Structure 1
Amino acid sequence: MRLTFLALSLFLASCVSAQSSVQEFQLGGTARILNDECIRLTPDAQYASGSAWYEKAIDLTRPFELTVCLVLGNRDELGADGIGFVFHPVMRTGYRGEGMGFAGLVPSLGIEFDTYQNFHLGDPAGDHVAITVNGQPHHYASLVGPNEVPNLEDGNKHLLWIQWDPFRKQLTVQLDGKERALLQLDLVKEVFAGKAKVFWGVTAATGRKTNAQDICIKKLVFAEAQPD
């Protein structure tokens, strides 16, 4: 255990740590910069979809930490659809709406913060977190969850921390200071066919029901992947 901690500490020391700028993201759809740290992915309007992809690829053989705040609007019963984090070898967004921006992407890893119940996808009644692979939005294919969380559509910022530990092959998702999802899997081998270089992005969508949905960047710790 002590050796693993020392190795992780040395790897983190060699990683890039930054108070990253919103200018380092490639925006798509309805995504717009709000201020120095926040991006509005969707306005409070029907059938909107937006994406923000970080411009630097990361190396999954090294540790990765992401600290952001999510704002999922203030409409509860009338709100939708949520925010998804996507890891994929290229900067490409999948199907929007209920697909949360990761549907149809192969190979991929998706972490969803879903605020709308789609019965045909196996969603629970409340807001929930799930981890899925290869663009499959139905929860029969979820590796973790869906795990219900307290209401996210309260207009407040919700602190999110995502960490990848390549030594333990462990992905941890904490929301508002509590662990909401834990995945034990060799992502490089089992998801990305041995390729450690991936991009990550965040996507959001609305449908008939709406919410303004934002992401505010706090801190990134990662190892930048070498160019092909």
Structure 2
Amino acid sequence: MSTTLSPTPRTQISRGKNRAVPDRERLHAFLGDALVAHLGVTVGSGEDAHPVVLPTAYGFDLDGPDAGGSLYLHGSVAAGWLAKALERDVCVTITELDGLVAARSGFHHSMNYRSAVVIGRPRLVEEPDEREHALALVVDQMIPGRWATLRPATRKELAATAVLALPLAEASMKARAEGPVDDPEDIEAGIWAGVIPIHRVADAPVTAEDAQGAPPEDVVRRATGLGAAAECSPR
């Protein structure tokens, strides 16, 4: 498998090439760090056709059966966008905001970020073992190790849940991690400029009123970043 990104004109970065990330391994690392994907799909037909962008949890398997690995998305089998997503190519974007860049002019204000775009034709995952594996990846993307602590999914739940797999082969990634870029005359004007870092922070888990027993250690580690010794807050 190629270790470079942007293998096709559809994912070739044309603007801001200095922020392009050509290394596929960095994309993989980013996918492991982020939490939310946005799926863009065209619904309707004829004059009524229109784009819809949907936020969704995701999981991924670099050894999955699709070209470049498999990006898994899930949704309700009753969702109107599901059938349309299988009829034509879709676009999935994943973004993490790392900072607000305050420049000396409005024109040069920016953001520090990591962002990936994946384009391709998804397939419906129907093989039972792959479906269960994909759903486990989605849950564990949010809270690593959580799936193993849960009861098995019921037939009713599985029947109501659709899983899509999108090849990771056709993808691009951009990142910005720097301070403001200002014109020399603006710098001389003496206006403050800098970066306001943005971090994703979670509080200690809030225990449900009807919960029994201690939370699994992996829940605490992921949710707080403080290690297994972190305590849960009562509801």
TM-score, normalised with respect to structure 1: 0.22
TM-score, normalised with respect to structure 2: 0.21
| Structure with the higher fraction of residues in helix conformation | 2
Radius of gyration: which is bigger? 2
